[in-house]
């Protein structure tokens, strides 16, 4: 075991400098690994921030997936306060994720072109962790597994996420266990399919929102936190859309899509749809 030394050798009220191997910080954070994963593909000085921003976003996706999986499990076990804590943490994380658009938000086409061709067919569309976020929100799609056929671990994780109840499925099951009239067809739906809005579910939320302090005040609060999540996800999609429009106009994407028009369609999708439509009836 190493002992405390200070730089002048005088006392022990300064940080320890003496480690036999790598520092305990390194052992925990693996900063050496993390800061040597930036393999640039061009000589353009602007590529570094593009790559690191993408990596930072991947890390935030990972944290947010962790929070939402924690929340989904807690809802399944009727531990609403635990789910609320995880969802609230995810709100602050989504804000940090969205703030990380700043370095890329004003790229000009010439700046982006300086390294764009070096990306080849690489596209965020192929991000497995983003896809897990979308699956947790109920935006399921088996065809989104296809790009990952060649990567067994990632494919396995996505396959599992496709079959598991989303955050919203767990919420609706909880509402049903609390005696609210969520239809059987929703409770027993094929979980691997995209969640489709239901008039009956909209009516359940309408009733909850009409009486926020009624017998289900905690479920009303849960509805509001999920609405915050939905809003911040919508903001991420829109910030991405606007950054893309600035950087490449109407060109096709590196992933082969129509680019901005494809992203526009994705951005209009409502997360947790009835939490939005119910508001018209309260």
Q: Does 255 bind ligand HEM (CB under 6 A)?
A: yes
From 12-20, 67-75, 221-229, 259-267, give the range in contact with ligand HEM by CB under 6 A.
259-267
Q: Does 87 bind ligand HEM (CB under 6 A)?
A: no
Task: Work out the number of other CB atoms within 10 angstroms of the CB of residue 112.
Answer: 20
From 69-77, 175-183, 203-211, 245-253, give the range in contact with ligand HEM by CB under 6 A.
245-253
Q: Does 247 bind ligand HEM (CB under 6 A)?
A: yes
Q: Does 141 bind ligand HEM (CB under 6 A)?
A: no
Residues numbered 27 to 56 that lie near ligand HEM (CB under 6 A) are 53-54
Q: Does 230 bind ligand HEM (CB under 6 A)?
A: no
Interface residue with ligand HEM among 65, 75, 137, 248 (CB under 6 A) is 248
Q: Known binder of ligand: residue 116?
A: yes
Q: Which residue has the tokens 């640039």?
A: 40
Q: Does 98 bind ligand HEM (CB under 6 A)?
A: no
Interface residue with ligand HEM among 259, 271, 275, 278 (CB under 6 A) is 259
Interface residue with ligand HEM among 124, 187, 189, 238 (CB under 6 A) is 124
> Residue 50 Cβ, how far from ligand HEM at the closest point, in Å?
7
Beta carbons of 236 and 267 less than 8 angstroms apart: no
Interface residue with ligand HEM among 244, 273, 274, 275 (CB under 6 A) is 244
Query: Which parts of this chain interact with ligand HEM (CB under 6 A)?
Result: 53-54, 57-58, 104, 107, 123-125, 127, 130, 240, 243-244, 247-248, 253-257, 259, 262-263, 266
């Amino acid at each position: 075991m190493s002992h405390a030394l200070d730089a002048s050798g005088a006392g022990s009220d300064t940080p320890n400098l003496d480690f036999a191997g790598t520092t305990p910080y390194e052992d925990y954070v693996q900063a050496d690994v993390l800061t040597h994963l930036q393999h640039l593909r061009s000589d353009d000085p602007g590529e570094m921030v593009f790559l690191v921003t993408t990596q930072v976003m991947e890390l935030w996706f990972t944290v947010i997936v962790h929070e939402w999986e924690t929340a989904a499990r807690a809802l399944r076990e009727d531990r609403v306060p635990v789910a609320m804590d995880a969802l609230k943490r995810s709100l602050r994380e989504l804000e940090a994720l969205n703030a990380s658009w700043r370095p890329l938000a004003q790229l000009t086409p010439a700046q982006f072109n300086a390294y764009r061709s070096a990306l080849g067919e690489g596209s965020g569309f192929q991000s497995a962790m983003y896809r897990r976020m979308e699956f947790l929100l109920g935006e399921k799609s088996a065809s989104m597994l296809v790009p990952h056929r060649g990567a067994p671990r990632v494919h396995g994780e996505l396959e599992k996420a496709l079959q598991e109840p989303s955050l919203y499925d767990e919420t609706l099951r909880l509402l049903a266990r609390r005696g609210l009239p969520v239809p059987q067809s929703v409770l027993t739906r094929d979980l691997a399919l995209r969640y489709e809005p239901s008039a009956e579910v909209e009516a359940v939320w309408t009733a909850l929102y009409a009486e926020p302090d009624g017998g289900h005040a905690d479920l009303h609060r849960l509805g509001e936190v999920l609405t915050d999540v939905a809003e911040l996800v919508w903001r991420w999609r829109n910030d991405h859309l606007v950054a893309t429009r600035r950087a490449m106009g109407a060109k096709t994407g590196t992933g082969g899509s129509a680019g901005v028009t494809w992203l526009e369609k994705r951005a209009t999708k409502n997360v947790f749809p009835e939490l939005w439509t119910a508001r018209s009836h309260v």
